[in-house]
Amino acid sequence: MASHRPLRVAILRNDSLLVDNPQTALILANVLRSLEAAGYDAFECRKTQVELRHDVPQMTRQLIAAGADAWVIEAGSRPLLEWCASQQTPCLALYGRTQGLQIARTGPDTVSAYAAATRALIALGHRRIVLIVREEFRRPPVGGCELAFLTELETHGIPAGAYNLPEWNETPAGFEQLLDSLFRTTPPTAVIVDEPCWFIAALAFMVRRGICVPEQVSMVAGESVPLLDMCSPRLAQMRWDNRLIVRRIVRWVDAVRKGNPDRRILNIPAEFVPGGSIGPLIPSANVGID
């Protein structure tokens, strides 16, 4: 590592700035700003993981070509993170499944928050609860928040399976098809939607189909973003302090510069915040789509 130049930090995004999670986009913008203010040469890789179709050989070639002294990987797939863990270049995973890997990680510790949200919905009488997440989180072996969700269902005597964690094509048309299918036959009485973009799309679907929230279906947002905070009453959501994530990443890069990169998993506490988008089950009110 050369001492006469600033330490170079490459950030590999999961998706583009225009369609990525707005909360993550804000975190990474603050990370870039903070690292540059600290004198580091921080930059984003030219292509995102989505643009490279999550192809590990293409992603790894791009990381190597970046010539960075450290990598920050946003929501990397397990195969990508396994490769990063095997390299000499220090790497920190922002989100992603790193269990058992010698790699640093940070992000919100939402496992307990998802479990609390599931328990709250069950306490309100809900049994048909659906969690909508991206493919990488549905892929077996299921872990993290998804496992906490399914475990809570089973603990309360609710059979858990593909209905509760459904497969879907991650496009607007695929999301619409998923909701059409869910509400046509055995409509859920509660839905947890992991990402804000899909949560807003689900709200729009409910409005178009005349489905009232929370009278006919309770809804929980997997993240808190300013846009959702504009709603009144406040939406039920998971919440954490993004500043702590930014601070963790900057301190990790500082440690890399000093030659002492750590490989610890340091997650940020998250909590479930109830809101007006959830309510008690009203059996007569929950109906399917004709």
For the chain, which residues make up each domain, given as ranges? 8-108+240-269, 111-238
The mean-pLDDT minimum among 60-69, 91-100, 120-129, 135-144 falls in: 135-144
Domains 8-108+240-269 and 111-238 share a fold: yes
- Residue 214, pLDDT > 90, answer yes
Dump the DSSP string for the chain.
--SSSPPEEEEE-SS-TTTS-HHHHHHHHHHHHHHHHTT-EEEE-SS-TTTTTT-HHHHHHHHHHTT-SEEEEES--HHHHHHHHTSSS-EEEESS--TTSSSEEEEEE-HHHHHHHHHHHHHTT---EEEE--HHHHSSSP-HHHHHHHHHHHHTT---STTTS----SSHHHHHHHHHHHHHSS--SEEEESSHHHHHHHHHHHHHTT--TTTT-EEEESS--HHHHTSSSPPEEEEE-HHHHHHHHHHHHHHHHTT-----EEEEEEEEE--TT-----TTT-----
Q: What are the pLDDT digits (tens) for 174-194? A: 999 999 999 998 899 999 999
pLDDT value, residue 1: 44
pLDDT value, residue 288: 56
Quickly state the pLDDT bin for 257 (edges 50, 70, 90): very high
The mean-pLDDT minimum among 7-11, 139-143, 148-152 falls in: 139-143
Q: What are the pLDDT digits (tens) for 47-101? A: 999 899 999 999 999 999 999 999 999 999 899 999 999 999 999 999 988 989 9
To which CATH superfamily is domain 8-108+240-269 assigned? Response regulator (3.40.50.2300)
What CATH class is the domain 111-238? alpha beta
User: Between these two residues, 229 and 78, which has the higher pLDDT value?
Assistant: 78
pLDDT value, residue 286: 61
Q: Among residues of the chain, what percentage have pLDDT more than 90?
A: 78
